[in-house]
Chains A and B, each alone.
Chain A
Amino acid sequence: MSDEKIIEIRNLTRVYGDGVEIRALDGVDIDIEPGEFLAIVGPSGSGKSTLLHQIGILDTPTSGTILLKGVDITKMSDRERSKTRNRELGFIFQYHHLLPDFNALENVMMPLLIKGVKRSEAKKIALDLLEEVGLSDRIHHRTTQLSGGENQRVAIARALVNNPSIVIGDEPTGNLDSKKSDSIYELLRRLNREHNQTFILVTHDEQMAAKTDRVIRIVDGKVVEDSRDGVPVREI
């Protein structure tokens, strides 16, 4: 792996509440390299989703910095944040969050249309990705006509359609049974290999986490474990 970091998180702190203070993140330091496939694990309320929202530029930290390709995303204007989310990030959530009024193809095209890509071109890219996730025959189906696993595949295609450098998954298989969950995991793994994009998955599924290249464990807003293939990345 290269020495260049795609994400450098320094002393990241996020405090919620204006009466009772909750330190959801408390001085987190993490470096992530391009193409990594890593899991953030931890018990409920440990701060793992909060960390993901910070990396996803959906929330702003109370203090600390996050460099994405060397640029501090915590200092960005609202408009720059939107643009960066659109260009650099792909999101997969526990619930697929597909637009219910649109069919699978239209949903996958959406990030490209937001980016301003021409419709015909967007369609071509979206069709390729839908084929890659194994849904070429379901492109005109709406979310209500697709199974949970299929919807999640559409959501994955949508997350990848803008060719982002980082794909963020917040419990991407949390809503699926173990069989479907495995196949979604395999899909993500394959895409990670083929596209060489960085995958950051938040999960409380320890089995799945164990299959990833690197596990970052968070408890009470602090990183308590950071190991690659069982070997600590650094001293905590």
Chain B
Amino acid sequence: MFELDIAMKHIRSRHRQTLFSIIAVGLSVAIIVVSMSMLSGYTSILIDSTVEKQAHITVLPKENEDYIHLYHGLEKHVYDMEGVEAVSPYFQGEAALQHRHDVEGVVLYGINPEDENRVVNRERDMFAGEFTSLANPGSRIVLGYKLAKNLDVGMGDTVTAQIPESGPTDFTITGIFRTGTPADETTAFANLERIQDFYGAGGVVTGMGVRISDVYTAETLANGIEIETGYDAISWIEQNADILNLLETSESMVYFFYVIIFAISGFGIANILIMIVMEKVGEIGMLMAMGAPRRSILLIFLLEAGILGMAGVMIGAVLGYVSCLLIASYTIPVPPEMYFGMDHLPIVINAENFVTAGVFAMVINIIAGMFPARRASKMNPVEAIQSV
């Protein structure tokens, strides 16, 4: 492999310039690894929080119907399906909550707290009081943190719920939750039976939350429920289609920038190779005279691009890894409700990102090396030898 010998000598003989082009590749790889890790972090936090803070599948009434009647049978049927871990029937209604002069419109959920906790862990989000206090069919209510703030109420205070169909009813606040999502401002929970009474709709629910073991099978399972029961079933993926699409779009946008960043470092590689080729014209001619085929000349310079790229990728991977660790360990003072309750920049370090960035960089470096390498291999040996 005399081609490799020559490539290595060329690189070593210009160690200062080659060092800079290696650093350029390294920095671009590091930047991209960090950026990919952050994007992965955001994506996984977004998906985790989405998946954790809502039912994986929501079963809704049949078309043209307002309620699910005789819901106990449906509840059992869905619960017995493979992959289903928990089912929580609920009654959802709108109401105005009033405390003294403050009135807020809310979405009021009637639930069985034990069932609900199994579908979405509400207990974990409790800021004050206990979610399970709603097990008692009395007039108890659990409010979102911001809602309580807007109504200027606290634990043990009473709020009055009003709906057009029924008279005002007082509820005692036995819990306040805080999720860091807009739900904190608009949501309230109460006992299912109590709410069914309140809306005058005994024995029916407006929906059912379902928790499943593998969140990525939600689509299939939701279709299964629809086919088997005839009820409408929406998976979390369908429900969050907008945000998932947005994620995908932003990911492809980001790739566009990756290409630009790599292209810049690729120009560095191309530049140094063009310099080496220009300087080595006579040498290339002599190699041809000695019988080195054009293919070997091409290979010499592609190897140089490859070696420079590889060194850059390795430096970039280490630099990127260290940067990720540093960023991940840094706590940022942001209000938790602003970014899904995060206080760290989310970083997910996975091998896939390193491999993608590395391969991507190598491909662009080889493409960058192609132009000078081809130029060298296409030289006329007589002209090359006489150029000295």
Interface SS majority for chain B: helix
Q: Does chain B have a CB within 8 A of A91?
A: yes
**Residue contact A58 to B289, C-beta cutoff 8 Å:** yes
**Residue contact B290 to A102, C-beta cutoff 8 Å:** no
Q: Does chain A have a CB within 8 A of B2?
A: yes
User: Bound state CA distance, A114 and B2, in angstroms?
Assistant: 6
Question: Which of chain A's residues has its CB closest to B11's CB?
Answer: A101
Stretch at the interface among B166-174, B250-258, B292-300, B336-344: B292-300
**Residue contact B290 to A114, C-beta cutoff 8 Å:** yes
Which of A53, A59, A91 makes the CB contact (< 8 A) with B290?
Answer: A91
Q: Are A58 and B291 CB-contacts (below 8 A) given A97-B283, A97-B388, A113-B5? A: no
**Residue contact B296 to A97, C-beta cutoff 8 Å:** no
Q: Does chain A have a CB within 8 A of B13?
A: yes
- Output the least CB separation between A111 and chain B (Å): 5
Q: Does chain A have a CB within 8 A of B149?
A: no
Q: Does chain B have a CB within 8 A of A95?
A: yes
User: Bound state CA distance, A58 and B326, in angstroms?
Assistant: 59
Question: Which of chain A's residues has its CB closest to B292's CB?
Answer: A114
Could you say which residues of chain A place their CB within 8 Å of the CB of B283? 97, 99-100
- Output the least CB separation between A145 and chain B (Å): 15
**Residue contact A110 to B285, C-beta cutoff 8 Å:** no
User: Bound state CA distance, A104 and B385, in angstroms?
Assistant: 19
Q: Does chain B have a CB within 8 A of A181?
A: no
Interface SS majority for chain A: helix
- Output the least CB separation between A211 and chain B (Å): 26
What would 19 A/B residue contacts be, using CB atoms closer than 8 Å? A53-B382, A58-B381, A82-B288, A82-B292, A83-B291, A85-B290, A87-B291, A91-B286, A95-B388, A97-B289, A99-B9, A100-B13, A100-B283, A101-B6, A102-B5, A106-B5, A111-B290, A114-B291, A158-B290
**Residue contact B294 to A82, C-beta cutoff 8 Å:** yes
User: Bound state CA distance, A53 and B385, in angstroms?
Assistant: 11
> For window 58-101 of chain A, which residues contact chain B by CB distance below 8 Å?
58-59, 78-79, 82-87, 89, 91, 93, 95, 97, 99-101
Q: Does chain A have a CB within 8 A of B83?
A: no
**Residue contact A86 to B288, C-beta cutoff 8 Å:** no
- Output the least CB separation between A33 and chain B (Å): 24
Q: Does chain A have a CB within 8 A of B77?
A: no
Q: Does chain A have a CB within 8 A of B118?
A: no
**Residue contact A102 to B388, C-beta cutoff 8 Å:** no
Q: Does chain B have a CB within 8 A of A56?
A: yes
> For window 148-183 of chain A, which residues contact chain B by CB distance below 8 Å?
158, 162
Q: Does chain A have a CB within 8 A of B12?
A: yes
Which of A58, A78, A111, A113 makes the CB contact (< 8 A) with B293?
Answer: A78
**Residue contact A101 to B12, C-beta cutoff 8 Å:** yes
Could you say which residues of chain A place their CB within 8 Å of the CB of B105? none
Question: Which of chain B's residues has its CB closest to A82's CB?
Answer: B293
Question: Which of chain B's residues has its CB closest to A97's CB?
Answer: B286
> For window 121-169 of chain A, which residues contact chain B by CB distance below 8 Å?
158, 162
User: Bound state CA distance, A97 and B10, in angstroms?
Assistant: 16
Q: Does chain B have a CB within 8 A of A195?
A: no
By CB atoms of chain B within 10 A, which of A84, A85, A87 has the most?
A85
> For window 272-287 of chain B, which residues contact chain A by CB distance below 8 Å?
282-283, 285-287
**Residue contact A101 to B296, C-beta cutoff 8 Å:** no
User: Bound state CA distance, A91 and B296, in angstroms?
Assistant: 19
Chain B residues with CB under 8 Å of chain A are 2, 5-6, 9-10, 12-13, 282-283, 285-294, 296, 380-382, 385, 388
User: Bound state CA distance, A59 and B285, in angstroms?
Assistant: 12
User: Bound state CA distance, A102 and B5, in angstroms?
Assistant: 9
**Residue contact A85 to B294, C-beta cutoff 8 Å:** no
Question: Which of chain B's residues has its CB closest to A161's CB?
Answer: B290
Q: Are A110 and B13 CB-contacts (below 8 A) given A59-B382, A93-B385, A97-B283? A: no
User: Bound state CA distance, A56 and B294, in angstroms?
Assistant: 16
Question: Which of chain A's residues has its CB closest to B282's CB?
Answer: A97
User: Bound state CA distance, A79 and B294, in angstroms?
Assistant: 8
User: Bound state CA distance, A99 and B290, in angstroms?
Assistant: 12
Q: Are A99 and B12 CB-contacts (below 8 A) given A53-B382, A78-B293, A78-B294? A: no
**Residue contact B5 to A85, C-beta cutoff 8 Å:** no
Q: 3 nearest interchain CB pairs? A: A86-B291, A101-B9, A113-B2
User: Bound state CA distance, A175 and B9, in angstroms?
Assistant: 27
By CB atoms of chain B within 10 A, which of A89, A95, A99, A106 has the most?
A99
Q: Does chain B have a CB within 8 A of A115?
A: yes
Could you say which residues of chain B place their CB within 8 Å of the CB of A101? 6, 9-10, 12-13
Q: Beyond A56-B289, A83-B293, A86-B291: 10 further Cβ-contacts under 8 Å?
A: A58-B382, A85-B291, A86-B290, A91-B286, A91-B290, A99-B286, A101-B12, A110-B287, A113-B5, A114-B292
Could you say which residues of chain A place their CB within 8 Å of the CB of B5? 102, 106, 113
- Output the least CB separation between A142 and chain B (Å): 10
Which of B9, B288, B289, B380 makes the CB contact (< 8 A) with A102?
Answer: B9
Question: Which of chain B's residues has its CB closest to A159's CB?
Answer: B290
**Residue contact A58 to B385, C-beta cutoff 8 Å:** yes
> For window 3-60 of chain A, which residues contact chain B by CB distance below 8 Å?
53, 56, 58-59
Q: Are A91 and B289 CB-contacts (below 8 A) given A58-B382, A59-B382, A101-B13? A: yes
**Residue contact B288 to A58, C-beta cutoff 8 Å:** yes
By CB atoms of chain A within 10 A, which of B9, B10, B290, B296 has the most?
B290
